[in-house]
Structure 1
Amino acid sequence: MDDKAQLEMAEGVLLGHAMVHRLAEGLGIRAFFIKGPGSVLQGLREPRISADVDVFVPPSGLGPLLQALQDRGWRERPVDPDTRTFPRHSVTVDHAMWPCCIDIHFRFPGMEKPALDCFEAMWVNTNSLDLAGQKVRVPSKALGILILALHSLRSPESPSCRQELEFLSGLIRQRSAATSLLDVAEETGSLAALRPFLADTLPKGTIQEWPEPSKEWRNRVAAREPGSARLLAILQAPLGEKPLLVWRAVFPRREVLLSKDIYADMTFLGRVAQHRARWARFLQALPRVVSDIRRR
């Protein structure tokens, strides 16, 4: 395909929603789309061009949908296989002929209930929306706010995330909106993670006792750097697992290098150069890593 025939990003994202919707519907998989253009159309986000398609499916739907996309030329992006350090919540696929990628979510960080229970609670809080000539499922206003807030709360120091949280805060000033949000948060076990967002917005005494966030969520919020996440995982791991985690931190698998660049040079000299660059990034980030560990 020549450059003139390639899809623009905005076109690819919209057509990607339509394609994934058709695939999921044909397989009998319940699927709804989060963030992205749907949130903008609902007034939950300020106008922006998305760079990917975010779709949510029940855990049992992940495999079939992923296989259907792979049959059509989409390939799974390499990721760090260390799920202790980086707990998996989605699978990302891309295609050489498409400008955007697709993120298939089967759980969402900050939602502490079991993944299937969360999906069922979310599914009843979805609506239909016309998008790219298709009627697709998207979150209700309350669920959409919950998902966007949890997404931004993972990086609260980011200016764009702070701006989004301020925008969302303005949407729940009305009591009815706040009540709906609290209902969905309780059903998905998200109150603990949402506390920094809700504490200053809700009337005092609305929540009598806030639940404690999970270790996974506390680690995710504290670790602003990849090196912080690895050190936290090593410090918190049982004694017998620490040596392997240290070994993998010093000598990562090829998937770790490819996760940064799928076209990375994997020859011996290429890997040596990538290891050098990796250590240079770690040393440069070391003051922030130390700060993250102390804060956690």
Structure 2
Amino acid sequence: MESRSAKFSLSEANELAHALLAQIGRDTGIRTLSIKGLVADRYRLRRPRVAADADVMVDPARFDEFCALLNERGWHLRVEREVPSLLGPHSVTFIRDDWPNDIDAHVRFPGFFADDQAVFDRLWRTRGEMEVAHVEVNVPSRGASAVIAALHAVRYSRSLRHAGEFEQVAHLLEHDFSAEDRDEFVDVARVGRAQWVLRELFERIGHPFEVDVDARRQRLWSTNRATVEDGAAVSWLNSLAAAPWHRKPAVLVRAVWISRAEIPRNDAERMPTVGEAWAHRMLRWRRGTVSLMQYALRRR
């Protein structure tokens, strides 16, 4: 990532970003819920650490409008090409040249397999508030935030840090949550169709769970868990396999080649040099080769 100048720390920037997001929602009537980092820290769902971004869930019915409002306030998309995703796109990342953090605006959260609007409405129904940078910010309940924290942690199956965060949520569910908080956790997972994904936590609290995800989505989720740290190589492989024969050459070329205009960067006006473009391609090819080799070994 290109460096960005800032007049405040990353921690301060995240708090101000959450306050900004809440104020935009309040001024326009767009429902927003701050999630993950700062919220997880205050609910003690993980060890406190400074996140690189501020995450917000936005009412799906007005998601595009909210993104346009962020753009009007100086936040813009980083230049990067669209790549396939096993689970589909779930958020849009915004940056500002004079801020050190990103804003991730979510229309859905990976691991919820119910309708996006149904999930958001359920989270909204039992929302609470937190004061952030002297602004009241809407947040999911502690039980609902535990579902989000667990979904995020369980998705990264090979990360020691995320494994530790998963254990933190499990410990709280077993030993710290009230019966009301635990019931909230169960109900949000039920409505969001995340019971199968979080089945280990259901078993640890002695609560029965339903297999609420069909076999195809189970395979996609499991493959994504095993490869999410590897980048997009496996997603491209999946797209190539799924494409009809007459489309496979185009998909293969798209997977392998990235044009200069598509090289990831913060400044859309600055075209990468030929050398920078080739350096990025070589890095991607090396990473992709390693990812596909690891994927092949895991499938043996």
TM-score by length of 2: 0.86
Q: 1:208 to 1:75 in 2, by over 3 A?
A: closer
* 1:191 equivalent in alignment to 2:191: no
Q: 1:75 to 1:208 in 2, by over 3 A?
A: closer
- The equivalent position to 1:218 in structure 2, one of 210, 222, 226, is 222
- The equivalent position to 1:247 in structure 2, one of 250, 253, 257, is 253
* 1:97 equivalent in alignment to 2:98: yes
Give 1:164's aligned residue: 165
- SS for the counterpart of 1:92 is strand
Give 1:234's aligned residue: 240
Give 2:278's aligned residue: 272
CA distance in 2, matches of 1:109, 1:124: 20
How far has the Cα of 1:256 moved from its partner?
Answer: 5.2
Q: List runs of 5+ in structure 2 lacking aligned partners.
A: none
Q: Is the 8 A contact 1:80 1:86 kept in 2?
A: no
1:12-91 matched pairs, under 5 angstroms: 12-83=13-84, 85=86, 87-91=88-92
- SS for the counterpart of 1:223 is helix
Q: 1:272 to 1:79 in 2, by over 3 A?
A: closer
CA distance in 1, matches of 2:104, 2:114: 21
- The equivalent position to 2:297 in structure 1, one of 287, 291, 296, is 291
- SS for the counterpart of 1:192 is coil
Q: Is the 8 A contact 1:44 1:145 kept in 2?
A: yes
State the one-letter code of the partner of 1:244. A
* Cα-Cα RMSD: 2.5
Q: Is the 8 A contact 1:9 1:99 kept in 2?
A: yes
- SS for the counterpart of 1:172 is helix
CA distance in 1, matches of 2:15, 2:297: 41
CA distance in 2, matches of 1:122, 1:247: 41
Q: Is the 8 A contact 1:265 1:271 kept in 2?
A: no
- SS for the counterpart of 1:149 is helix
How far has the Cα of 1:248 moved from its partner?
Answer: 0.9
CA distance in 1, matches of 2:286, 2:220: 27
CA distance in 1, matches of 2:146, 2:38: 14
State the one-letter code of the partner of 2:295. V
More deviation in 61-70 or 283-292?
283-292
CA distance in 1, matches of 2:16, 2:188: 30
CA distance in 1, matches of 2:31, 2:21: 11
Aligned length: 287
CA distance in 2, matches of 1:75, 1:110: 27
Q: 1:95 to 1:40 in 2, by over 3 A?
A: same
How far has the Cα of 1:233 moved from its partner?
Answer: 2.7
The percentage of counterpart residues that share the same residue type is 28
State the one-letter code of the partner of 1:184. V
- SS for the counterpart of 1:128 is strand
Partner deviation per Cα, 1:30-50 (whole Å, 9 max, x = no partner): 001001222212222222112
State the one-letter code of the partner of 2:152. H
CA distance in 1, matches of 2:297, 2:261: 28
Partner deviation per Cα, 1:252-290 (whole Å, 9 max, x = no partner): 3557531xx436863334322322222122234443232
CA distance in 2, matches of 1:289, 1:157: 13
Q: 1:208 to 1:101 in 2, by over 3 A?
A: closer
TM-score by length of 1: 0.87
How far has the Cα of 1:210 moved from its partner?
Answer: 2.5
Give 1:145's aligned residue: 146
How far has the Cα of 1:89 moved from its partner?
Answer: 0.4
How far has the Cα of 1:222 moved from its partner?
Answer: 2.7
More deviation in 239-248 or 262-271?
262-271
Q: 1:242 to 1:208 in 2, by over 3 A?
A: same
